[in-house]
Amino acid sequence: MTASTKIDFIYLSEQDMIKAGVTDMPACVDTMEEMFGLLYHGDYRMAGANNDSHGAMVMFPENSPFPDMPKPTADRRFMAMPAYLGGRFRTAGMKWYGSNIENREKGLPRSILMFVLNDADTGAPLAFMSANLLSAYRTGAIPGVGARHLSREDSKVVGILGPGVMAKTSLMSFMAVRPGIDTVKVKGRGKASLDSFLSWIAETFPQITTVEVVDTIEEVVRDSDIVTFCSSGAVGDPSTYPMVRREWVKPGTFLAMPALCNIDEGMEKSDIRKVADNVGLYEAWFEELPKPAHVNVPIIGVKFMDMIAEGKMAKEELEDIGKIVAGEAPGRTNDEEIIIMSVGGMPVEDVAWGTVVYRNAIERGIGVTLNLWDTPVLR
C-alpha cells in the first residue's frame, strides 16, 4: 500500500501559543535544561562550519544606489536561525525575523518573529507559529537554568538593568528556581517602561515585597545576589556598554548577561568563574567577526573570546553550562565564588520550546490546520 502523500500542518497565532503553554516558565526552564544536556553530548546541529552558528543575517549598506533599500539603522535586520535537536525532540526548525527599533514608534515590538517546525525525517512542516513569546520565554529561561546551578540557594535580591521584555522573562525564570527572592532593584531609561515593569511585578509576584528604582548601574550590582543586564543600546564601542566593576560585586553573586555588557580588569581575573551557554557559539561568532569581536557583538561571551585571543584568559577557564547541567562539571562550589554567565541565544532553544508547545497544541486541539498539498504536483 502506498503511503499517503497528504501534508497538513498547523498555524499557531500568539493567542494559540498562549493556550498551548508557551508562557509556562517553570516548564520552559526545565526544557532548556534538558536541551543543554543534549548540546553537551552533541545531539544537535546549528548552521555554520562548526554547527554552532547563531544564524545568517541580511546586512544593509550605509549607502545604496537603490532609494527604497532599508538603511542600516539600529536593530535593522532580517535573520534566519536554523537548528536540529535530538533526544525526545528530534525535530528541526527555523526562526525567521525582521527587526527595526523604529517599530516602537508604531506600537510594534522591535522584532517580529515567526518559527517553522519540521519533521526531521521528511522535512515536512509540522507547524508555523507566532514566535515573539516563544523567543522571549526561551531567552529568559536560560538565565534561570544558570541560576539553578550557579546562584546561591538563599538568593533574595535581584538587580536588573533594563526593565523590558527580557527583564520580565529573566525574573520569571529566577523566581521559578529561587522562590526565596523578595527584593528587586531596577534601573531604566524611561518612566513609562519603569512604571510598566513595576506594575507587572506587583501583579505577577506579590511575594516580592521590596522593589527599588535605582539611578546607577553600580546600585543595580551592589548587594545583589543575582544580577542581569537586559538593556538595548548602540553597538560598536565596548567602552559604552554597561560595565560591571569588581568592587561593586559582593562575594557569592551570580551574573547572567543576555544583553550588552562589559567588565573591568578586576572581573577579568581568573578567580571570577566565567560560563557560556555554549562555548561553540562564541567560537563560531569569533571566526565570523572582525577583531576585536566584542566591538560587533556586545555579548560578554564574545569579550571572553577576545580575552582568550589576547592571552588575558586561558581557553580552559571558559566553562560550558551544558557540561555543568550534564553533571560532568561542578555548579556552584561555595557561597563566596562570583560567577558570570554569558547568554547568547541559540536556535536550538527555539526548536526545543517550539516542539513542546507544538505537541501541547496537537494534544489539546489548538491551532488552525492548513494543507500544503494532498498530492505534490512535482516529485
pLDDT digits (tens, 9 = 90+) for 206-243: 999 999 999 999 999 999 999 999 998 888 999 999 99
The reply to whether 120 and 190 lie within a common domain is no
The reply to whether 97 and 244 lie within a common domain is no
Show the domain range for 357: 7-134+348-373
The model's confidence at residue 2, banded by pLDDT at 50, 70 and 90, is low
- Other beta carbons less than 10 A from residue 15's beta carbon: 11
The reply to whether 277 and 330 lie within a common domain is yes
Helix (H, G, I), strand (E, B) or coil at 90: coil
Task: Please give the tally of structural domains in the chain.
Answer: 2
Give me 227's grid cell.
544580577
CA distance 84 to 159: 35
The reply to whether 230 and 355 lie within a common domain is no
What rounded mean pLDDT belongs to the chain?
A: 96
The reply to whether 15 and 121 lie within a common domain is yes
The reply to whether 209 and 340 lie within a common domain is yes
CB 91 within 8 A of CB 115: no
Q: Is the pLDDT at 49 greater than 90, yes or no?
A: no
What percent of the chain has a predicted confidence (pLDDT) above 90?
Answer: 90
Rounded alpha-carbon distances, angstroms, from residue 71 to 59, 66, 296: 9, 10, 18
The reply to whether 226 and 338 lie within a common domain is yes
Each residue's pLDDT tens digit, 313-357? 999 999 999 999 999 999 999 999 999 999 999 999 999 999 999
CA distance 251 to 379: 63
Rg (CA), the chain: 21
The reply to whether 268 and 342 lie within a common domain is yes
Q: Is the pLDDT at 272 greater than 80, yes or no?
A: yes
Q: What is the mean pLDDT of residues 113-138?
A: 98
The model's confidence at residue 73, banded by pLDDT at 50, 70 and 90, is confident
The reply to whether 359 and 340 lie within a common domain is no
